Amino acid sequence: MTESVPSLAELDRALREARSGIGAGELHGSLTGYLCAGGRAGSQEWLQALQLDDPGALPAQLAGRLYEDCRRQLDDPDFGFQPLLPDEDAPLAERAEALVAWCRGFLGGAGLAGLDARSLSDDADEILRDFAGIAGSQLDYADDEEDEAALAEVQEFVRIGVLLLQRELAGARAPRAKRLH
């Protein structure tokens, strides 16, 4: 039987109780960036690899579930990956702030895994620069339909950007077949 995917609320609660100083979205972004960039730690060791102050503070079962779900989503051939962010019922400002933190986490996790941006295609490099722009911004959204649509568009850009980076970086790590002459 497969364990359930950790919810944003469940993960946020555990991180608050652990006094981790990081939110669920940023942690998920860190894990996603780490895995996309080829991070090799297993389902129980990844918190140490991300250099959290107290990696043991997050319950091992919850950390393992988050890792396995993220890995499964990134490997999904149907592009089922979704950043762990507040749902549409949350206030717009909260969702925008969570996306900024998620992108900040993604970049940090990718860096800790040793991502060499010089080896990326121009498209992948541009995606990372866009993520950095999002991570460094203070999105100021009012609660109107235009801002809702803009945030949804940015979230979808991030989702697709992650999938494109994952495919490119996984291809770069795949062993090449020897060429016979």
Q: CA 61, CA 78: separation in Å to the nearest integer?
A: 27
Q: What is the CATH number that goes with domain 8-171?
A: 1.20.120.740
Report pLDDT for 75: 92
Whose tokens are 């981790």? That residue is 20
Q: What is the residue extent of each domain of the chain?
A: 8-171
Structure pTM?
0.88
To the nearest 5 percent, what fractions of the chain are helix, strand and coil? 60, 0, 40
Report pLDDT for 19: 80
Four-CA torsion 114, 122, 73, 50, nearest 10 degrees: 20
**Which CB contacts under 8 angstroms, 24+ apart, belong to 58-64?**
58/14, 58/15, 58/18, 58/20, 59/14, 61/3, 62/6, 62/10, 62/11, 62/14
Q: Over its length of 181 residues, how does the chain's per-residue pLDDT go in tens digits?
A: 456 778 899 999 988 888 888 899 999 999 999 999 999 888 777 888 776 666 667 788 888 899 999 999 999 988 899 999 999 999 999 999 999 999 999 999 999 999 988 889 999 999 999 999 999 987 776 768 888 999 999 999 999 999 999 999 987 655 544 455 5
